[in-house]
Amino acid sequence: MNTDKVSGTEGYAEMADYLVQQWQEISFEEHHAAVLHLLPVSPARVLDIGSGIGSDAAAFAAMGHRVVAVEPVSELRLPGIALHDSALITWLDDSLPDLSLLSVRNETFDLIMLSAVWMHLDELQRQCAMPRLASLMNASATLILSLRHGPVPAGRRMFDVSAAETIELAAQQNLEPVLHIEAASIQKLNQQSGVTWTRLAFRRATS
């Protein structure tokens, strides 16, 4: 896939060398402390969208989960494949909102993770992507995503996406929030810039 045609990936290929190093220094447990209690305990099917260099995918694989890691930026995906050589990880050059390559696999998942992805999609793309994500969730699946708030790094494409809008889009797919947390960034540069994050998790409504 040509990353020039994937909106939302702007700036990542150019910064890949720096990001590969930076992301390896982030602890999975620290980064995802707020949602650890929502992760599957038994071996499960995990979809990691916007996988970057695969740090989260590798952590899930280490837990015994089978992971489909979706990353459209080859400058991140290829180092990720080299760093995290695991039979439990399948890499796909795919992207939201369509996830066209994933469509032909006819899979559903127990957990779908979008870390720092959703705010790269514009309003129409978000409206198209939420039904697509819901269609990939099995009956008891959890969808976890994060929203970035604050200054946009130079060369990146991001939108100021509210939790309220995201919850409403999810509700239209019969998904209800089971987690809603506002928190500061764990990265020092982001802290200095005033970046904050919203963490949301959804499951299918039971009534």
Torsion angle in degrees (nearest 10) through CA of 43, 135, 7, 183: -60
- Total domains in the chain come to 1
What CATH number has the domain bearing residue 183? 3.40.50.150
Helices (H) and strands (E) in the chain, counts: 8, 7
Q: What is the CA radius of gyration of the chain?
A: 16
- List the single range of 100-104, 132-136, 190-194 with lowest mean pLDDT: 190-194
Return the amino acid letter for 168. E
Task: State yes or no: cis peptide before 97, omega within 30 of 0.
Answer: yes
Place of tokens 């995201």: 166
pLDDT tens digits, one per residue of 61-113? 999 999 999 999 888 899 999 989 999 999 999 999 999 999 899 999 999 99
Per-residue pLDDT tens over the stretch 9-65: 655 666 655 665 665 667 788 889 999 999 999 999 999 999 988 999 999 999 999
pLDDT at 134 over 90: yes
Reported confidence tier of residue 187, pLDDT bands at 50, 70, 90 = low
| Predicted pLDDT of residue 37 | 97
Rounded mean pLDDT, 108-136: 96
Q: Are strands 66-70 and 89-92 parallel, antiparallel or unpaired?
A: parallel
Q: Please give the residue range of the domain that contains residue 33.
A: 3-204
Q: Which residue type, as a one-letter code, is found at position 61?
A: A
- Token duo for residue 14: 């150019």
Predicted local confidence at residue 156, as pLDDT: 80
pLDDT of the residue at 2: 39
- State the CB neighbour count (10 A cutoff) for residue 127: 14
